[in-house]
Structure 1
Amino acid sequence: MTMQLERIVATNFRKFRDPMVVEGLGSGLNVVIEPNETGKSTLLEALRAGLFVRHGTKNQLAQSFMPFGENVAPEVEIEFQIDGERWHVAKKFLKSPALEVRGPKGRTSGDAAEEQLQALLGFERSTSRDADLDSYGALGLLWVGQGDALSVRAPSEIVRNSVRSTLEAEVGSIMGGATHDAVRAAVDKQFADYWTPGGSIGGRQKSARDAAQTAREAADQATSDLAALDRSFAELAEKQARMKVLKRELADERDVQARADLVKSLETARAAALMLGQRKAERSAAQADADALSEFAERHKTAVTAKTEATDALADANAKRAKVEAEVEDAKEKEESARQALSSAREVRAAAKSALADARVLTSTATRHSAIADAKRRHEKLIELEAELVESRRIEAASIESQTMKSLESLERDVVTASAELSAGSTIIELIGEAPHITVDGDAFGDGPRTIVQDTRIGLGGGAELIIKPPRGTASAQAQLDDLNARLASELSQLGISNVSEARTRVDAARDAKANIATLDARIEAITQAVPAVDLGAGADTLRKFVASITESDTAAPATIPDIAELEKRLEDAEDGLATTDGIHQAALEALRKAEEKNRPLVTAETSARSTLASAEQQIATIEADPRFANMETGLFAAREKAAAADVAWQQAQENAGSLDPETIERQIEKIDKRAESARTQATELQLEVARLEATIETEGGKGLAEAAAGAEEEANAAQRLFERVTEEAATVKLLRGTLEHARLETSQTYVGPIARRAKRHIERLLPGCDLSFTEDLQLHSITRAGTEEGCSNLSRGTQEQLAVLTRLAFADMLLEKGRPVSLILDDPLAYSDDARLDLMSDILTEAAERMQVILLTCRERAFRHLSGTHIAIG
């Protein structure tokens, strides 16, 4: 069943504020070629809105129909035919929305008209806020908006249902049909009783599992409660036995007596420790007095020994210094003389060095003056060469292009040829002598020969005329010659020359100028080399800037230039003399250093001996002035005897205190106290535990825990058996559902056969030798070429777009067989196709237009203007 759109009118619809009218659409191929921004895509949107969008909706899509910045009601009118029956749809949105459908049986309006359109065109009511192409049915698939055909997509469920009966008739299967749907629905209902949609445990199976788990937990809890009661009886007996043991320990009097004995021993030990400390202090004081007197005597002895040794060292150092001081004085005199000579040599070297530097400055100035003079000469030469270069470039620029020259020479040859042909075929007359009464076409004959190219009257006088008729064709030859001369003159005039020879001369001059330009460039480069001596870089611009920066002082040359070689020789001699005197001075310094090194330890030894002697004499005087020095030996003996007696008394006190240790006795008393405290604490805790256990046994013992545990175990076993039975039923239903799904998938592959055959009929022309693979929802998934499978998403954008169009044609053919209204609209199609593919797709679309109406909306006139069919303009 073909659908033919005939007329579309959109008013106040997006950019169409004034009525936009498209009419005259034919039944075959229709081509709408308009520039960008004309409203081709808006036309398709208006067509979809007029047929598929409910008139009463005010969603986001309907709001977008209103022109920007205006508050008006969008309106769409559509006229079309289906199987020869004419239909007219008029729809108004947003403000006073309305719909009227006129068909073979009269008019319908409002919601009834919406339902009539749905039944006529096979689409569903959409609840989306935006355009829902899947709900538009077959025409949603076949009316392709701009960019929508860039990827291959699956047909909607409406389209798949439309072709299902055709597919079932071809494959001979009920899978996917009504019978399959009924069976599958019953299985799915049972599946939902046991499983979640994702295949996890749910429904009755989950309830049975939860009940079994709850019963098991209750049985385990009852068993645990019974076991806890048994443990309470055992624990009570154990606690009561420990209470008896603790009571016996607390009633034992032996620890009390032992503690009293230890307290008495502690008092005795503390008294002995106090005496020991006193004797220790007395011993330490006596020993300190003896040590102090002993150290006093030792210091006096040490000071006397140090005085004797320092006196001997001082005398030895004085004797050795007397020998070395004469050698040091001689070395000092020699170093002073060498230092004066070195200073003189440095002055001579400095004078020579200064003279050489001044001479080099003068030499550099002279070199710079010479380089500046040379630069000025090269600059003058540069100006001459650049002037010549400008002239050569002017001559080169005036050259005539080779193509133009060929044209001139060709015209010249044509003129010569035409002149020769004219001379060969024309009549020449010549008058010899004077005959003023003879005229040519009323004018005086004149001197020289005349070429006759047309009928000419020669007046002979007295009314007589001689008519000369040249051969036929002479006039056309003259006209051709005049035309060639005019064209040649025009060409020469545009070039500003008078003849072709002058043009050749200009070309030759330009050729010579071009060669001369290369020579001049080389010569300019040669005279503009860099001169590092005056910081002059390479290049003509650099040379010009350098010459412009020259001042008068740069051109003043020094009067005389000293002899650099002589001054360098003088500096070299001064350097040698300086090196010699410096070596002599270094030797004198080394001799002085060695003499001073010999004297330095002697000076140090003398100084050290004097210091040691003074210190020893001072220490001896201090010690001998102390009152203890007079009776030092007697006092030292008495102090040592007192220290010995104190040591004997300390040892005796140590022996008395050694048998009784206060700390050991205190630890024993503490141990007895802790043991008694621990026993009392444990007895209190055990008393509390016994009371708690007796209360627990009294409370739990009357609950019948053993009978409850047995009953709970029986309920848990029954719940587990029920869960196992439900699990088995669930597995059976899942297996049945999986079997049906597997069978459906296998049949799906059989379903796509008719689709693949219809699509391959077209795609084979585009991609010869390829095989097609469709998904179960009838979407083209991949193609196989030369044994290699390629997913559609991996193909180029152009190939994807072409495959999308061809698969839509396959579905359109099936829908035609089903008797559904079909037409094909492509907005900006085949934008990524190369020329060969574009021609092939144009042929396929032209052939498709023989079976259905095809409308192409495009801005590419060059690509589609050659197509036969109806060409429509948007008005």
Structure 2
Amino acid sequence: MKLQSIAIEEFKQFTGRLFIDDLQPGLNLFVGPNEAGKSTIAEAVRAVFLERYKASHLKELLPWGKASGQPSVEVSFDLDGVACRLSKQFVTRQRCELKIGQAVFGEDEAEDKLAALLGFSRAARGPLKAENAGVPGLLWVQQGGTHDVRDSTGHAAQYLRDALSQLSGSRESAGEDALIAAVQRELRQLLTARTQKSTGPLAEAEAALAALIAERDDLNRQREQFDENIARLAAQQQAFEETERKRPWELHEEKAVLAQQRANAAAELERSVGQLAQALKVSEAELALPLQHEQAAVELETAVTRDRQQLDTARANVAAVETGYAQAATRVAQLEQAFTDANRALELANAAVSAADLRNQIGLHRAELERLETAIAAASEANEALVAAARAAAALEIDEAKLKRLASLDASLTVLRARTEAAMTRIEYRLSGAITVGDASISGTGVLRVDEEKRIGLGELGELRVIPGVSDLFARLSELAALEAQHAQLLQALGVASLAEAESRHEQWKALVAQQKSHAKVLEAYAPQGIDALRAALASATARSQAANERLTSLPDVSAALPLDEARRSAEIAASALESARKILNEATEKRSTGIATAESLALQLQRKEAQLSDPAFCRNRAQWQAKIVEQRVQVEALTKQREARARELEAVRLDDPAAEAKRYRASAELARQDQHERQVSIARLRSQLETVGASGLGERLAALDAKVEQAIRRKEELSLRAGALSLLDEVLVAERDAAVAQLRAPLTERLGHYLKRIFPQSTIALGDDLSPATLDRFGRADTLEALSFGTREQLGILTRLAYADLLKASGRPTLLMLDDAAVHTDAARRDAIKRALIDAATRHQILVFTCHPELWDDLGVRQRAIDDMKAAA
């Protein structure tokens, strides 16, 4: 079986149509990143072959974000040289069609045909189950399932056995299988297949026996409980009477009353301590107010003493500052006169410098005036020449495009005239007489060119009809006439008689344009902004020169002026000295004002405080609060001592926590009463139970049950003996059958060894009853499949599937292998061995490999087909 093409439309992530063709009969490699659609393509192939087209669970195939889509898949394939086509549409408007050669199958018939051809069974309803997948479930490996080969092989075991039997050409084991099946059917009625647990009659017998034994045990427990209850009733009755005599709850209640009395006394003591604390707080508050008043009076006395000292100091400072102020004022007056003199000398020096600058400016203005007058003259001459050249160029200007077209037409006419002349019939003549050509008479020697049919009269000799031999001569003549008309029209438009005259005029125009550009450059050099700008600049320079002369005349006599630097230094020194003196004067003034204001403020402040201290009302109030302070201090001390004494008494009382003790004793009394009540209830309940059991005939029931248990034991042993015999018979028959099947396994074992030696040389693999790998023997050690690493199981999964495919192909079964991201957990060395095995198997089977690691599979010698490129092409 070889796939030729796959068409997928509106299927999961393929919202449009994806078409894959040119599938090779051997190895096909599809690459792409995660979620590119590799697994979706593999799932589409599985769905079109294996899923029931009418299955309702296939809504998951709808295109992403398109709930109204119609998922469909169509594959073309070759089956034993016969062209086949299969198409299915799912979810909405379901359909199925299978075409094999000229035969067409539809709907359920097509799906039954597919199951028979490929080796799988249809699910009765719902999604495809693993047990229905058969051969495709074995050879079409889904992502992450490469290592899981045992279950897949088990589901395809019957198809593999059929292939082995077909290869061996023997059916000898059929009778043994029927006998084994019959024995196992009988055995399965007693024991389960996998766990060997009891079932059917044996399970019923065991259950009945267990129920009887449980019932008997229950009656025994009831009898034991009856005896225990009698003893418990006697003990409970004795304890009840003893407790009723002692009555412990009354003692606990008396203790609770005493503890509560102590707790009440402690509460009263706590209230007394609180009241004393409150009285102490009030006394302390009453003491705080006269203390504050007395503290303020003491602080006022201290402030008066401090202010007297500060006032004396301030008055001394004022006297010192007055002297400094007078000296600073005298110094400022002297420096102001010196500053005035220095500024006058500086003004005279600046005037001398200005006079020198004005003389230099006047000289520069004269030079600029001469330059501008020269430039105006040269620019005017260049401007006149430019205007003359522009007029001459305008008179000779010719359209350059028309000139180029005229030159092109002239060249074309020359060529066409030559070709036309060459195409004409040329007749050279030397005549002793005269002949007629058309209506004209010619004689002598010359050349006659015939461009159309001509009649030549020969007099008495008759006439000649000359017909030109070139068939397109007329067309050439027409083309020549059209070109000559265009040529004449262009000459007229240009105002010239010939191309030579036009070219001569064009050359003269170009020379005049060059002269115009040269004169323009000269004009731009002398007057880049125009002659008017030069004239404006001349007028401006003249005005500036006159202004400079006027300013020079207005300056004072500077013959006695100092050098500018010396005058500036003298002025700066005078200004600096004056500024320093003024700063000193300002500081002295500020200090003088501040000192006077401070002294006056201190004098007023001292006068006010002294008046307050000597006020009679203040003195009377002070004597009152001083007496209050002494009185309140005595009261605070007394209250403090009383509170501390009561607090010590309260702490001593709280050591035993009488309230907690009262609560504890009350709880103990309540518990004692509850225990006695529960004991009384328990005695009544036990008496009732004993009376009920005593009247039920417990002994007679136990005797009857013992008889039933004996009978159930005999029935269970009988069925167990039958199950053992059937098990032994099954083992013997299976061993015989397996010996025969071992011969049938030889082809599969040979193919497994063919592939196994590529990765595990010097090793063998043992197969289970379902023909799946069971153990791997290496270096004298047998490891079960579960004991191997994940990567090793993955590699065995690939190799065994290649061997199964060889076995199925040899028996005439169609094969196709699909590996979705296989060998992910394989190192580089084993991956190379896997690749060699795939290349070998690809000579016999078509293999589709999907991978997200193209760099690891780029040495297979086959083209890598990128999923993204296929989607872009679609």
**Does the TM-score normalized on the shorter chain lie above 0.5?**
no
If the length of structure 1 is used for normalisation, what is the TM-score? 0.41
If the length of structure 2 is used for normalisation, what is the TM-score? 0.41
